[in-house]
Amino acid sequence: MYKNENIEIEVLNQISHVIVRQKNVSLLLKEVLDILYREIGLKRGTITLRRGNELYIEASHGLSDAEIKRGKYRIGEGITGQVALEHKPIIIPEISLEPGFLDRTQARASEREIAFICVPIIYEDNVIGTMSMDRVKSKNTDLQKDFNLLETVANIMADAVSVIFKEKEERDRLLEENRRLKLELDRNLRPANIVGNCSSMRSVYAMISQVADSMATVLIRGNSGTGKELVARAIHRASQRHSRPFIAVNCAALPENLIESELFGHEKGAFTGATARRTGRVEAADGGTIFLDEIGDLSQPMQVKLLRFLQERTFQRIGSNEERRVDVRILAATSLKLEEMMVESTFREDLYYRLNVFPIRLPDLKERRSDIMLLADYFLEKYNKLYNKSIKRISTPAINMMMAYHWPGNVRELENCVERAVLTANDDVIHGYNLPPSLQTGQATNTATIQNDINADFNTLVASFERELIVDALKLKRGNVAAVARHLRATTRIIHYKISKLNIEPDNYK
């Protein structure tokens, strides 16, 4: 018998408050068992939940972590599994005399005078778990009363647990849907002509998507070999002009006296050698996109003419006074630091602000190391087809060398590296020795760190030796100066001094 005759009402009242307040299933179930322990004095209590064809202990009172881990039951196995299988509660007056009691948790090995009550937790005719308690028997013990209370609690818990489970399932479904949509969006944003999945490249893809359908001038910034023209082509392909011409002009590759003619065209006889009228690149791109690569290499006079074209979208052919108007989207790119050039008055400030409407910065390859092997595999497949090879993989030492290298030439250097490796490979694997010498370290090749120049003086040889030694170590230790000092058995102060004296940039090797 309970000391308080109204204890059942008090227990149910406390549990109802917990159900309203607590939305975490495990914590809710644990608090319910704690209430039963405080109010009716159960010795042990467990609540199992069903996952597939098994029951797992989700909450307990009086069991250790090790005992909880052992508490797994298949449906139909032992008393707990039988309750779940038959949808019926079971009362065991003395567990030491019950052969069907498994004691899977091993918590009751030497106990006597212990009763066990187990009831199913049923929701919509389906067993979603079980609730059980161990009761120390005494002359006042009323197992039927305990059973009635436990069954009532289990019925209340069924509704609460199912609601929380449904909320969790809905939340998980929404999170999964959000993740799927995000992946689909990432796939849609990623241009087909660009390889890379690092966060910085995903930001680039997002910017391409944002600006593609506008008429805004885009300035693509990045070091040589980062893929500026690929981004320009991706912007054009994603725009409404994708079916119209895309004209690329490398401003650095054209002589100063030809750049104006190349861009705007000329009339016959405009200058010596102009034997026929020529249509310029700007006019050829009418309705489409013109990409001005290495814009920072333009001369000052050409910058003035380009600025006028950007403002008015009109131009004159050389040797003609006729104003011509074109509808063309302008994309520009540079690897130079235009801001410093403006300070030095080598690049016009007004042109800079005309170009810099929507800047996109491309990261160096050393900043996107997670993409190195994606790119390497892409180039491997490309040159396998080109050279009719069947190389299947890149060896682990070669991968390590690629990941350790600082790639000053960026993606273009990586592509050239893979092409060379494909050409020199004699089997179906790219090995470390197939990679260019620039990727090799003394540790990888077992070679000396210097080739002596017999024409050099002593100081030059020593400086060359020190430089090559430190650079080799920086490659190996990925630019970590402290690690280089330990590797070379020198102090960090000495290594810093030598790096400064020899004009070595450790950041280039990170």
pLDDT, tens digit (0-9, with 9 covering 90-100), for 308-356:
999 988 988 888 888 999 999 999 999 999 999 999 999 999 999 999 9
Say if residue 5's pLDDT is above 60: no
pLDDT in tens, 163-187: 767 777 788 888 888 777 766 655 5
Given a contact cutoff of 8 angstroms between Cβ atoms, the answer to whether 121 and 161 are in contact is yes
Kindly state the percentage of the chain with pLDDT values over 90. 33
Q: Can you tell me the mean pLDDT for 128-149?
A: 84
CB 48 within 8 A of CB 81: no
Going by pLDDT thresholds of 50, 70 and 90, the confidence category of residue 505 is confident
Q: Is the pLDDT of residue 28 over 80?
A: yes
Rama region for 487: left / alpha / beta (φ>0; ψ in -120 to 50; rest):
alpha
The whole-number pLDDT of residue 453 equals 46
The answer to whether residues 84 and 50 touch, using CB atoms and an 8 Å cutoff, is yes
| Cα–Cα distance, 328 to 290 (Å, whole number) | 7
- What DSSP string runs through 437-502? GGG--HHHHT--S----TTS-HHHHHHHHHHHHHHHHHHHTTT-HHHHHHHTT--HHHHHHHHHHT
pTM greater than the 0.75 cutoff? no
Q: Is the pLDDT of residue 232 over 90?
A: yes
Question: Average pLDDT of 409-425?
Answer: 93
**What integer pLDDT is reported at residue 447 of this predicted model?**
47
Per-residue pLDDT for 448 more than 50?
no
| Mean pLDDT value across residues 454-472 | 76
Distance CA 370, CA 374 (A): 8
What are the residues facing 429 on neighbouring strands?
393
Residues 416 and 418: their CA atoms lie apart, in Å, by 6
Q: What is the pLDDT averaged over residues 151-161?
A: 84
Length of the chain: 510
For residue 378, which of 200, 194, 238 has the smallest C-alpha distance?
A: 194
Judge whether 470 and 504 are in contact, CB under 8 Å: yes
Residue 311 makes CB contacts below 8 A (sequence gap 6+) with 354
Q: Which two tokens stand for residue 467?
A: 């430089």
Q: What band does 30 get if pLDDT is binned at 50, 70 and 90?
A: confident
Question: Model confidence at 64, in pLDDT bands (50, 70, 90)?
Answer: confident
Report whether pLDDT(454) > 50: no
pLDDT of residue 2: 53
Mean pLDDT of the chain: 85
pLDDT at 183: 63
